[in-house]
Amino acid sequence: MHTAEAMVNLILPPGAATRRPLFIVRDGNLPLIFGVDGGGRLRMLQHMGAGAWSDTDLSAALPEPAKVCCADVRQAPDGTIAIALAMLDAAGDCTLRVATGLPARQDDAGWLHAGTPPLLLIHAGPASWYCNAAAPVRTMRTLHLPAAQAYAIGHYRQPGLWALQPYGKGSALRFTPLCDPSGWYVALDYPALPVSTHSVLLAPGAMPNVPDLYAAGDRIVVYRGGTTQPQPVAQVAGARLVWSHARDGAECLAYADAEGTLWMVARQHRGPWDAPFLLTRRRAVLAVAGQFIHAATIEQGRLEVQRFTMDGLLYSSEIVTVAW
């Protein structure tokens, strides 16, 4: 499930469906980490300073016992956080719970207040639905997905769906809007995709509700806003796009290679893209907080949080023992 405040990757990483969900966002200059423990409970780790972390069980606020079977955590450009949870009860019934507009810095009681993200895409077996939670009547609507390698839902001036489809020896990528009550309709194709495009990443662009789009195949390119001609990013083949960040005109893009090693390519304001550099050899979730890139990974009850400078140099590393 995906919220529309933050653009999302069209393709899940290998094994993502079997790994426990882990997310990292920014809390001012510090990282804020969400995860699902072995009991299916949503946990939150807050950095308290001087190497101390608080571990909060957010599932304790739910009115009935249920396990998290799917989760998504997104951060909007203004720093507020949206959370979507699919909760499975003892009878096997699934309930969707959503919250949005949550400030990153608040006490535990503040995290119990709920809201609704504006757009969700839900898959359940062969069927799919979407919900525009910003509408006066929040109705789940059936969504008929075209045959494609991957999908994402979001906004290009209006709510819509991106679909990546195989086309001969190449790929085709198209944005198609959802039903618009005013009758306004715009469809968009992305021409000149890299050969064998298999990974696409949507990122907030300079224009509201008009995203930038990165595509990776035999090379990595970016489509800026509504432009139809791709701009070169890196001559790298086989990349899986993971994460992007932009601030004050500077940009960075992270991707994984076949072994899961994370690499980064960056550019300064109005400058060219630099050569890719190694970030970390382990799978990790990434966020920029303060002047650092924070990378978090969890294995066997050990959470490791690394801090990198914006040019990829390791600044510090911290191990946190968690009961997850």
- What CA dihedral angle connects 25, 27, 30 and 33, to 10 degrees? -40
What was the pLDDT predicted at 241? 94
Residue 11 has pLDDT above 70, yes or no: no
Residue 243 has pLDDT above 90, yes or no: yes
Between 310 and 254, whose confidence is greater?
254
Are 193 and 218 a contacting pair, CB within 8 Å? no
Residues 170-191 have a mean pLDDT of 76
What was the pLDDT predicted at 207? 84
Between 134 and 106, whose confidence is greater?
106
Mean pLDDT value across the chain? 82
Residues 165-172 have a mean pLDDT of 75
Helix (H, G, I), strand (E, B) or coil at 216: strand
What was the pLDDT predicted at 9? 55
Which domains can be identified in the chain, with CATH numbers?
22-321 (2.130.10)
Q: What is the pLDDT of residues 46-91, one digit of tens each?
A: 887 777 888 888 888 777 777 888 888 888 888 888 888 888 888 8
| Pairing of the two strands 292-299 and 314-321 | unpaired
Enter the tokens of residue 51.
Answer: 């190497």
* Strands, E assignment, 103-149: 119-124, 127-132, 141-142
What was the pLDDT predicted at 6? 41
- Give the type of residue at 294: H
This prediction has a pTM of 0.85
Are 241 and 255 a contacting pair, CB within 8 Å? yes
Enter the tokens of residue 83.
Answer: 């959370």
Given CA atoms 205, 207, 211, 212 in this order, what sign does their dihedral have?
A: negative
Long-range own/partner contacts, residues 259-262 (CB < 8 A, 24 or more apart)? 260/13, 260/14, 262/286, 262/295
Give the lowest-confidence range in 75-79, 182-186, 281-285, 308-312. Answer: 182-186
Q: Could you tell me the pLDDT band of residue 7, with boundaries at 50, 70 and 90?
A: very low
Q: What is the pLDDT of residues 186-235, one digit of tens each?
A: 678 898 999 989 899 999 888 888 899 999 999 999 999 878 889 999 99
**CA–CA–CA angle 170, 171, 174 (5° rounding):** 155
Enter the tokens of residue 249.
Answer: 């005109």
Q: What is the pLDDT of residues 112-140, one digit of tens each?
A: 655 655 667 776 667 788 777 666 666 77
* The three-state (H, E, C) secondary structure of 16-49, written as one string: CCCCCCEEEEEECCEEEEEEECCCCCEEEEEEEE
Q: How far apart are CA 37 and CA 46, in angstroms?
A: 16
Residues 146-173 have a mean pLDDT of 82
